[in-house]
């Protein structure tokens, strides 16, 4: 790859990241379609199925997307290389947990260049931590019981207004519903921190 095409690709990448950060769904869609063949090929090459490839790729794109949205992505290479590194790492992890054979060896494509030192490792650790937090939260919500769960999910996850929720749950007025919400929040806090801290 010569310098011209590299810098052109870098410029295109920067543009794409800009668009995605601004919340352009079509840019994300373009990115998604652009790199799917690479990852799907990689996973299929390394004893995975089409579904595995999809899961791994979505996970990888998610890591990338969240970093972009946060604005904390420090990209020292092409998006392609970054995604390859992330998906490679994810698939390697799945393979090692799936098979009892330790020391899985992956077939790599030379053209995606040095997939090391892309910062993907750190980003993945971060993403793992976040995943754990979300998993704990999801569990805490499940253990919360009704009506607290649907009240909080309605408010925080589904973006319903307090008025809607008041009507839905049959509270006399919005204030009662609010009071109820705060009580639920206090209970959620106990459940969440109890399992999150101990884990």
| Interface ranges with another protein (CB under 8 A) | 25, 28-29, 32-33, 36-37, 44-50, 54, 57-58, 61-62, 65-66, 69, 130, 133-134, 137-138, 152, 156-159, 178-179, 182-183, 185-186, 188-189, 192-193
Nearer residue to another protein within complex by CB, 10 or 28: 28
What is the Cα–Cα distance from 181 to 161, expressed in whole angstroms?
Answer: 12
Q: Give the shortest CB-32-to-another protein separation in angstroms.
A: 5
CA-CA distance, 120 to 155, in Å (whole number)? Answer: 34
Listing DSSP states for 42-87 in one string gives: HHHHTT--HHHHHHHHHHHHHHHHHHHHHT----SS-HHHHHHHHH
Nearer to another protein, 7 or 183 (CB): 183
Residue positions counted in the chain: 199
Closest separation between CB of residue 14 and another protein, Å? 21
Residue in the structure block whose two tokens are 């004893």: 47
Report in angstroms how near the CB of residue 18 gets to another protein at its nearest. Answer: 18
Nearest of 65, 74, 72, 77 to residue 10 by alpha carbon: 77
If the CB atoms of residues 33 and 102 are measured against another protein, the closer one turns out to be 33
Residue 102 CB, shortest distance to another protein, in Å, is 17
- Looking at beta carbons only, is 31 or 85 nearer to another protein? 31
């Amino acid at each position: 790859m010569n310098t011209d095409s590299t810098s052109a690709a870098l410029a295109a990448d920067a543009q794409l990241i800009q668009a995605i950060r601004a919340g352009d769904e079509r840019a994300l869609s373009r990115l998604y379609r652009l790199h799917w063949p690479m990852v799907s090929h990689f996973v299929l090459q390394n004893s995975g199925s089409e579904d595995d490839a999809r899961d791994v790729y979505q996970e990888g794109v998610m890591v990338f997307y969240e970093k972009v949205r946060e604005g904390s992505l420090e990209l020292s290479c092409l998006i392609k290389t970054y995604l390859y590194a992330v998906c490679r790492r994810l698939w390697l992890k799945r393979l090692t947990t799936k098979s009892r054979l330790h020391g899985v060896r992956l077939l790599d494509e030379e053209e995606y260049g040095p997939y090391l030192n892309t910062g993907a490792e750190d980003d993945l650790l971060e993403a793992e931590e976040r995943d754990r937090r979300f998993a704990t939260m999801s569990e805490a919500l499940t253990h919360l019981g009704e009506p607290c769960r649907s009240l909080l999910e309605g408010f925080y996850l589904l973006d319903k207004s307090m008025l809607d929720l008041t009507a839905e749950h049959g509270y006399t007025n919005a204030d009662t519903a609010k009071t109820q919400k705060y009580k639920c929040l206090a209970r959620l806090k106990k459940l969440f921190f109890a399992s999150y801290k101990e884990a």
